[in-house]
Amino acid sequence: MNTLLKLSKKAVPFILVLTVCMVSSSNPKVKAAPVTFSDIPANHWAKSGIDTAVNKGYVVGYPGGLFMPNANVTRAEFIKMIVTATGQPVEETTGKWYESYVEAAEQAALYTKSDFANSDTEWNKKITRQEMARIAARATGLKTTEDDKWMYLATKTGLISGLGAGKLGEKEYTTRAQSVATVERVLTVKNGGKLPTDKYAIGSAELAWHKTNIFTVMPEYFGYYGQMWTQYDTYEDQWREDKLTLTSKDNKYVATLHELIAIDLEDPNDPNLKQVAPLNTLRWGYGEYGNPGHPVSNYKKAYLLYWKSTVKNDAPDRYFGGRYAKIEILGVGKPNPKQIDGVLTMSAPVYHQESFDAPYSIIPKVAKDQLGRSVEVMISTPNSGYFFSYNDILDVYPHSEH
């Protein structure tokens, strides 16, 4: 028999009073009566998750038949939702309404005091999407010591989707609809399910984490381990952020790579296309004398590499060749003995009018048998002869078995 139950403010802090029909434990086959909300139409993107969450009892609506899907959620409210939904043991306390849920979250390693202070002021702040991603990732057993990696872990697992065109909205506040959707995804993963993922969001999160998206966009080249593979948890961890700044042997030249962005030229919706010049204004070539180059717009089965960098050059007569860092990917493709015929067979510089006038290169999509013994991402000094210096930012071995 169903029992009519009134939920108090203390039980659900962001609800006033709502009567909900609960299922009697004596008859588990009886389903809860569906709850409808006037502000959740049948085609609302989160309707299914909201209906499920309400029937599970870890979230309810507002008086007047409203759910208010776009209302923001506080840190305390989201912690209560995730703790309740995942079945963490909660011991009643005499303090603030949320304290018992915070204690349960600490015990379950969903929250640590290094995230933010354990105070009333902090818990009543609106929760950001970055903070929600961190809690959701922890709730599924994911771990990292890098705070900027949580969003990458959450998007790669499917716990978090982007806001369109690769936008993450890390600092934006979480809504009730987004919170419910995230909690339901956590429960799916914990029950052994697999979630769909948003590749553009993953690429953006990878870029925010360690300043490149090549592992997301170009996995066929970089989904391998290098020589020191045993010290890394994943392929992506091999990216050496400590090698992004190159200082020449004579200390006269310093270049720093800030971002290395891969763009799939076969994907017209690639969100990073908007960061580069129109493709019909770009040409590529191997530096052959007298050749005006080949239009980038003619090539789709390729990747365009674009990088952001800063350069300090105190010896321009020694290190000449442009105001951008020199970035190369080596080991992809084979040299073309007839370079002038315009067939892209390996990485080539891309330019507007002349070599080195743009921070771009183009790389053909090739099969594994066209990859070298190692595939490297390198930053080096330009045209420097005896003074040549370089850093290997990444060095993987496609033909090795680990």
Average pLDDT over residues 118-136: 97
Q: For residues 240 and 363, state if they share a domain.
A: yes
* pLDDT value of residue 15: 37
pLDDT at 10 over 80: no
pLDDT at 26 over 80: no
Q: For residues 154 and 233, state if they share a domain.
A: no
* pLDDT value of residue 179: 96
Average pLDDT over residues 212-235: 93
Q: For residues 22 and 75, state if they share a domain.
A: yes
If we measure between CA atoms, which residue out of 86, 52, 73 comes closest to residue 132?
73
Would residue 44 count as lying in a domain? yes
Q: For residues 175 and 301, state if they share a domain.
A: no
As a whole-number percent, the residues of the chain with pLDDT over 70 amount to 89
DSSP per position, 118-167: -SHHHHTSBPBHHHHHHHHHHHTT---S-GGGHHHHHHHHTSS--SSTT-
Q: For residues 163 and 243, state if they share a domain.
A: no
Q: Which residues of 65-75 are buried (b: 16+ CB within 10 A; e: fewer)?
A: eebbbebbbbb
Q: For residues 80 and 166, state if they share a domain.
A: yes
* pLDDT value of residue 5: 35
**CB-based contact 362:347 (threshold 8 Å):** yes
Share of the chain residues as helix, strand and coil, in percent rounded to the nearest 5: 30, 20, 50
First to last CA, the chain: 59
User: 402 vs 203, which has greater pLDDT?
Assistant: 203
pLDDT at 8 over 80: no
Burial class (CB in 10 A: 0-12, 13-18, 19+), 139: buried
Q: For residues 286 and 146, state if they share a domain.
A: no
The lowest-confidence range among 144-153, 154-163, 292-301 is 292-301
* pLDDT value of residue 321: 74
Would residue 80 count as lying in a domain? yes
Q: For residues 182 and 298, state if they share a domain.
A: no
Confidence of residue 22 (pLDDT cuts 50, 70, 90): very low
User: 8 vs 80, which has greater pLDDT?
Assistant: 80
**Maximum alpha-carbon separation in the chain:** 88
What's the structural domain count of the chain? Answer: 2
The lowest-confidence range among 44-58, 233-247, 343-357 is 343-357
Q: How high is the mean pLDDT of the chain?
A: 89
210, 235, 250 - which closes a domain: 210
pLDDT at 30 over 70: no
* pLDDT value of residue 228: 83
* pLDDT value of residue 1: 37
155, 178, 210 - which closes a domain: 210
User: 321 vs 207, which has greater pLDDT?
Assistant: 207
Confidence of residue 322 (pLDDT cuts 50, 70, 90): confident
Average pLDDT over residues 336-352: 80
The model's pTM is 0.88
Average pLDDT over residues 84-107: 95
Q: For residues 187 and 225, state if they share a domain.
A: no
* pLDDT value of residue 288: 62
For residue 52, the enclosing domain spans 3-210
Other C-beta atoms closer than 10 Å to the C-beta of 264 total 20
If we measure between CA atoms, which residue out of 68, 77, 63 comes closest to residue 50?
68
Centroid of chain to Cα 131: 14
* pLDDT value of residue 33: 53
Tens digit of each residue's pLDDT (9 = 90 or more) over 280-304: 999 998 766 556 789 999 989 999 9
* pLDDT value of residue 20: 34
pLDDT at 109 over 60: yes
Q: For residues 104 and 190, state if they share a domain.
A: yes
Average pLDDT over residues 98-112: 97
210, 240, 257 - which closes a domain: 210
**Rg, Å, the chain Cα set:** 26
Q: For residues 199 and 234, state if they share a domain.
A: no
Q: Which residues of 202-237 are buried (b: 16+ CB within 10 A; e: fewer)?
A: bbbbbbbbbbbbbbbbbeebbebbbeeeeeeeebbb
In total, the chain counts a number of residues equal to: 402
Q: For residues 298 and 386, state if they share a domain.
A: yes
